[in-house]
Each structure stands twice: as structure tokens, then as C-alpha cells.
A and B are shown apart, each in its own frame.
Chain A
Amino acid sequence: MRRALILYSSNPIYSQLSTTRAPPGYVVFPKRDGGWIPPSSSYQPPVFRMRNYKCTLPPPLGSVGAASDSVANRPKMASQDEQDPRISKISSAIRVIPNFPKPGIMFQDITTLLLDTKAFRDTIDLFVERYRGKDISVVAGIEARGFIFGPPIALAIGAKFVPMRKPNKLPGEVISEEYSLEYGTDKMEMHVGAVQAGERALIIDDLIATGGTLCAAIRLLERVGVQVVECACVIELPELKGRERLGDKPLFVLVSSD
């Protein structure tokens, strides 16, 4: 069964959505309708601390600084009624193909999403709304389906787009990172000089499964001194625990598929 959710990453966010103070004891993160989340709920604040962010609310309790970014503070999913109304159309536009590429695999096919002009537009908008104005200078997209979502996001937020490719595709000097597959290994490459130390980057792919490919992309960027701010995918397969494999790197997805 697929649940359509917005999942949030693990750094504190100071929200601009509300201008009122939360009642005492309430989690300091507003719901979209302006209400507050009561302390009895298991909801934890969506999180994303951005540089230059103007704080209009007091900081959430216990969430300031690196110590709070531990796995224990990592939030659970937003509840269903928090969901952006665009999500369900996006989710239903994704086609599941059984037994591809081999028996037992339920393949999440995003090509049907690309045929729905509004749903594709909404998919990009959801990422752009999250990352615009946050000083992100690099969007790295993983070959080949990351090339479909990454460039429109990069164009909208004014960042450069950097393709992360299979071996021997990029023509110039590259750096390579090996990573494990179920059987054997593969390699991911990036052009030398595409990114500079100190740049803030997103990594985009259509889907996170085990997280192996995303991890390789993170390592490539960090090896040249880039700060990976977040990984962003349309779909997560939570049973494969890719999120844990990313360690301290936050992951943002639109749709979760069990």
C-alpha cells in the first residue's frame, strides 16, 4: 500500500508560516491551517535549518545546535491531514510495474507522472518551494531519472546543475566513487571543477531504495568540500531503510511506498 506523505528532514526549521506564539507546552511548529500541534501527539517538528533564515518564533525546545540533530530527534512522518493537497495526485500518477527488472521487485515508474502536466509541475513546485531562497548553489542529479527532476529545480532556484553519471560518460576529467550493488559494485562519476569547496548542494533522484547510490553521490560531493544540505527524492521505499544509510544527511521525499 502506498501512503502519500510529506516527510521532513532532521534539522530544525524556524517557520515563517505563523506569526502567533504557540500556547505553552505546544510544539512550536504550526499546522498549515494556522493551528498548533498539541503535546500529546506523536508528531515531531519538521526540521530544516537554513542559513540567513529570519526567525520570527522562539526556537523549538532542545533543537538548537548539532547535538540535537541526532537520530533520536529525527521526526516521524507528518500525519495524513498535514499533507499538501498536491501529493495525492502525484502519488496516484506513479505506476507500479510488478516483476521489473526481475521477479519480486515492484518497480515505481515515474514516467506516468511525467505525462500528467499538472502533477509533474506540482512535483517540481514542491521541491522549489522548499529550497528557493536557501542559498543552494548546486543541484546534483543522478543519472538518468535524476536528470528529469534536477534541472527544472536548479533553474527555478538559480543553482547550477551537475550530472552524476555512470562510468565513461562524462568527457572531461572526473572523480569517481565506487559503491555496492546487490551483486558486485558500480561507479559514479562527477566532473572535476564542476563544484567548489564551500558550495551548498542538493542531491536529486527519482527514488531512494537502499540509499547506496545517494551515499556515493554524497561522498563525491563531500570529497571536494561541498556541503550536502539535503537529499531529495520523489519516492522513498522505507522498508529498505535508505534513510538510515544516509546517516546525518537529511532526506526529503514526497511519497512513501511500502
Chain B
Amino acid sequence: MSAYRDKDPRIHGIQSRIRVVPNFPKSGIMFQDITTLLLDPKAFKDTVDLFVERYRGKNISVVAGIEARGFIFGPAIALEIGAKFVPLRKPKKLPGKVISEEYELEYGRDCLEMHLGAVEPGDRALVVDDLIATGGTLCAAMKLLERVGADVVECACVIELPDLKGREQLNGKPLYVLVESH
């Protein structure tokens, strides 16, 4: 599901503010840079509003944001819908007791961590990141939440790269995005 397809009038402004940087972090990758979106207060507000309108009043108690660009969008959404914000971080950043979930990268593996006790069984959760590519990171995030008994209601990203088929990696969990980039 995407707001892009729903043709909300705010989408055009959001999409046009995202800058594509070629060959970053390496040759052949067209990097979707959301920092230019953040420089336009109206477009940034519209981005957050589109998510808030979707999730307000749906009994969401947790917004989990993936380090670091998920931290830019997640807290604003959490504050507006009255949910707690839970940062999901790279290893050794969180100071308290954590649970970890490993996931595959193109070359090698990485790990995502969450504080124990942040999320409780029965919490209804969103997972927020700026972009979904292969879906590996989002999958690890969902697993972390489900391991502690939360119900992942939806994954929400500003941008989807549909050619990388991340949507199919989410084990049937719904994905909502604002913008698609081919």
C-alpha cells in the first residue's frame, strides 16, 4: 500500500524534495537522500502527517525506529499518536540489557538491538525507517518486537525500492510507503 498510489496531493512535494545521489555508498547505487526533504518544513510536516493520519486512533502503543534515519521520522509520529518511541540500534549503543537479532547484508551480517523491557507483550507496534530496500533490516526489527510478544501492525517507510522486493520479505506483514523509486 502506498500513498503514492493513493495520489494524495502532498506526495508530489515530498517526492520532489528527495535527492538522488548516484554512486553512494558505492558505484551503481542510486542513494535516496531524505536530508533534502528535511530542509523543507512543509514537506517534512506533510510526511509526518501522512503517517499520523493513517495510525492515529488505531491503538498503536509502540513506534520502533531503526537507527539512524528512523529516529528522524519515528519520534514525531509517536508523539502525535501517543505511542512510546523505541530505538532499534546497532550493537553496543544501547546501555542497558538488550536483545539482539542478526540479519544478512549483501556481504556479511549485521545486528539490531532493542532494550529489554521497552516493549511489553500485547503492545501494538509500528516499525519506521526512511527506506525499505531488500527488507533485511525491517525483518530483523519485526523479529525483535515479536520475540517480546508485541504485535507488529505495519511497517512504514518514506521510500520503497520495489525492484528489490523488500515487501515480499516481510512474512506477510503489511508495508505502507509514501513514495516508490524505480
Contact = CB atoms under 8 A, between A and B. Distances in A.
B33 A171 contact: yes
Interface centre among A107, A143, A159, A160 (most CB of B within 10 A): A160
15 contacts: A95-B96, A97-B96, A101-B95, A111-B96, A114-B84, A115-B84, A117-B82, A124-B79, A144-B68, A145-B71, A151-B76, A154-B44, A160-B41, A170-B35, A171-B25
Shortest beta-carbon contacts, A-B, top 10: A147-B71, A171-B21, A100-B95, A171-B24, A97-B95, A114-B85, A161-B38, A160-B39, A115-B84, A144-B68
A170 B72 CA distance: 14
Interface in B31-57: 31, 33, 35, 38-41, 44-45, 48
A250 interface: no
B72 A151 contact: yes
A145 B68 CA distance: 9
A114 B67 CA distance: 15
B68 to A, nearest CB: 4
B41 A155 contact: yes
Contacts of B44: 151, 154-155, 160-161
Contacts of B21: 171-172
Main secondary structure of the interface of A (DSSP, over half): mixed
Given A151-B38, A154-B41, A155-B48, A120 B92 contact: no
A191 to B, nearest CB: 6
B41 A158 contact: yes
Contacts of B87: 111, 114, 144, 148
Number of contact residues on B: which range applies? 35 or more
Given A148-B75, A194-B39, A111 B94 contact: yes
B83 interface: yes
A165 B33 CA distance: 14
Interface in A83-113: 95, 97, 100-101, 107, 109, 111
A245 interface: no
B31 A144 contact: no
B118 interface: yes
Contacts, number: 106
Nearest to A124: B79
Interface centre among A107, A116, A154 (most CB of B within 10 A): A154
B71 to A, nearest CB: 4
Contacts of A143: 68
Given A117-B83, A172-B21, A152 B45 contact: no
A21 interface: no
Contacts of B35: 162-163, 170, 172, 191, 194
A190 B27 CA distance: 22
Interface centre among B44, B68, B86, B94 (most CB of A within 10 A): B68
Given A114-B87, A147-B68, A151-B76, 6 more contacts: A95-B96, A109-B96, A154-B38, A154-B44, A160-B41, A172-B33
Interface centre among B39, B67, B69, B95 (most CB of A within 10 A): B95
